[in-house]
């Protein structure tokens, strides 16, 4: 099983990036968790570019999504919403369909319970535009239960992807 890991933050020391690295380390045998780090390279979405040959960064993004059985997105909340780079990435695949009916788990590495909900809500709403199937939509609290929470996300992704495949 191939899970594409996407960090909504472009920050090099992001706690959401840390979450994805822990997820990679916790992934069981047979699960290839691959990080996509190209959101920063995507040009701003422009419908005029969709009719012709897509920019190379867009082609790489679309290919990474198409090749994945499931997607894990760890994203901070910015201004009570999702980060612009992540929204831009999703905009690039609305018309091309790589996230259509794709199994997706969304989470946010947070310091306290109750944080991150607005950002995840906005992300879930945006993913609704591409008919993504959400297998997980909860923040993950940093602390003693952090790894257990990440393990639960991976299991939820695996189970949802297996159900969809059968």
CATH code of the domain containing 66: 3.40.50.360
Q: How far apart are CA 13 and CA 18, in angstroms?
A: 8
Global confidence as pTM = 0.96
What is the model's pLDDT at position 55?
93
Q: In this predicted structure, which of 38-52, 82-96, 123-137 has the lowest mean pLDDT?
A: 38-52
Q: Residue 5 pairs with which residues in a beta bridge?
A: 35, 72
Sort residue 143 into left (φ over 0), alpha (ψ -120 to 50) or beta. Answer: left
> Alpha-carbon distance 2 to 70, whole Å?
7
The residue with greater pLDDT, 53 or 135, is 135
Domain count, the chain: 1
| φ, ψ for residue 88, nearest 5 deg | -60, -45
Crossing angle between the packed helical segments 84-94 and 56-67, to the nearest 10 degrees: 80
Look at residue 16 and tell me whether its pLDDT is greater than 80: yes
C-beta of residue 66 within 8 angstroms of C-beta of residue 97: no
Domain span at residue 147 reads 2-165
- pLDDT at position 113 is 87
């Amino acid at each position: 099983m191939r899970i594409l890991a996407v960090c909504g933050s472009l920050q090099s020391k992001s706690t959401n990036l840390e979450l994805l690295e822990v997820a990679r380390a916790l992934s069981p045998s047979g699960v290839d968790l691959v990080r996509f780090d190209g959101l920063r390279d995507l040009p701003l979405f422009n419908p005029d570019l969709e009719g012709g040959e897509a920019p190379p960064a867009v082609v790489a993004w679309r290919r990474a999504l198409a090749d994945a059985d499931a997607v894990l997105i760890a994203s901070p909340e910015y201004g009570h919403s999702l980060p612009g780079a992540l929204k831009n990435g999703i905009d690039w695949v609305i018309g091309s369909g790589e996230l259509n009916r794709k199994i997706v788990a969304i989470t946010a590495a947070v310091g306290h319970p109750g944080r991150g909900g607005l950002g995840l809500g906005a992300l879930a709403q945006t993913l609704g535009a591409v008919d993504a199937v959400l297998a997980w939509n909860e923040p993950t609290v940093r602390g003693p239960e952090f790894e257990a929470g990440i393990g639960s996300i991976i299991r939820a992704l695996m189970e949802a992807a297996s159900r969809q495949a059968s």
